[in-house]
Chains A and B, each alone.
Chain A
């Protein structure tokens, strides 16, 4: 069965935002996000021009972090952002899926390169687990 057609490509000039929803994805000692937040064949983001940081964070529990990176720079690394609805939040017209079609043995390296591109907009303030 063929893969469903992907949505329109997010322009290279756009910024993309991803919520850091787990404190486990935050390297507190180094004050940076772990590439564990990006090392997948596909992950969700919001297109920055279509949602405020507060709107993005409003869909998650309080205290989540938020990082931002450029769509075009991410595409050069192999991360292709496509504007597609999220079945869990169909009202979110800013949603895009970021596809990483690279071989599995390149994804960690690329995800770490993506971390290097990302800007932290909000550090997470989630409570540390007991």
Chain B
């Protein structure tokens, strides 16, 4: 089993930034890659937060089809998520408003697509899409399940995560 997680080094101990599904006392082998690029992390978070602030200002009927303004509770939850996201990846998504009042993060690379829709403040509805490999996967998970979010981002960015 191989997993890839972000971790922070504090007081002589490496602390994972997400829960690990390991039994207490399990011994693992660590391979440490380059330290996280704090400047890049901050830039991802700043750019996404600014974009969400702009989307928060959209007025009702922003799409010309009668859409409501975006749900402020969803935007708040998305911003919290982005705080984690920026520490995990520098692959910057698009932040896309939905006519339902929800918000979606989208990553595109050719035909390969990852969508994370914050359909309510507690739930992410995702789509993994890659015609080249026949991948069409859609489901929901709790917004606090960063391990699931990390596995989806790893799939998109190509990081090995053969759990």
The reply on A40 being an interface residue by CB < 8 A is yes
Q: Nearest-CB distance from A78 to chain B (Å)?
A: 13
Is B100 a contact partner of A105 (Cβ separation < 8 A)? no
The reply on B125 being an interface residue by CB < 8 A is yes
Determine the chain B residues whose CB is within 8 A of the CB of A27 once the complex forms.
94, 106, 108
Provide the A37-54 mask, 1 if CB < 8 A to any CB of B, else 0.
Answer: 001100110000000000
Q: Nearest-CB distance from B107 to chain A (Å)?
A: 10
Q: Please choose the segment from B20-28, B83-91, B110-118 that sits at the chain A interface, where 4 or more of its residues have CB less than 8 A away.
A: B110-118
The reply on A19 being an interface residue by CB < 8 A is yes
The reply on B64 being an interface residue by CB < 8 A is yes
Determine the chain B residues whose CB is within 8 A of the CB of A107 once the complex forms.
138
Q: Residue B64 contacts which of A19, A24, A34, A108 (CB distance < 8 angstroms)?
A: A19
The residue in chain B whose Cβ has the minimal distance to the Cβ of A87 is B66
| Contact residues of B: prevailing secondary structure | strand
Is A21 a contact partner of B64 (Cβ separation < 8 A)? yes
The reply on A109 being an interface residue by CB < 8 A is yes
Is B127 a contact partner of A108 (Cβ separation < 8 A)? yes
22 contacts between A and B (CB under 8 A): A19-B64, A21-B64, A24-B55, A24-B94, A27-B108, A29-B108, A30-B110, A34-B96, A35-B115, A36-B96, A36-B98, A39-B117, A40-B98, A61-B64, A64-B64, A105-B125, A105-B138, A105-B140, A108-B126, A108-B127, A109-B127, A112-B136
Q: Interface residues of A, CB < 8 Å — how many?
A: 29
The reply on B156 being an interface residue by CB < 8 A is no
Is B65 a contact partner of A21 (Cβ separation < 8 A)? yes
Could you say which interface size class chain B belongs to?
20 to 34
The residue in chain A whose Cβ has the minimal distance to the Cβ of B113 is A112
The reply on A129 being an interface residue by CB < 8 A is yes
- Compute how far the CA of A91 lies from the CA of B65 in the bound complex, rounded to whole angstroms: 15
Which B residues lie at the A interface, using CB under 8 A? 54-55, 62-66, 94-100, 104, 106, 108, 110, 113, 115, 117, 125-127, 129, 131, 136, 138-140
Is A108 a contact partner of B138 (Cβ separation < 8 A)? yes
Q: Nearest-CB distance from A18 to chain B (Å)?
A: 9
- Compute how far the CA of A61 lies from the CA of B63 in the bound complex, rounded to whole angstroms: 10
- The answer to whether A39 and B98 touch (CB under 8 A), given A108-B127, A129-B54, is yes
- Compute how far the CA of A97 lies from the CA of B131 in the bound complex, rounded to whole angstroms: 28
Q: Residue B96 contacts which of A25, A30, A108 (CB distance < 8 angstroms)?
A: A25
Determine the chain B residues whose CB is within 8 A of the CB of A34 once the complex forms.
94, 96, 106
The residue in chain A whose Cβ has the minimal distance to the Cβ of B110 is A30
Determine the chain B residues whose CB is within 8 A of the CB of A39 once the complex forms.
98, 117
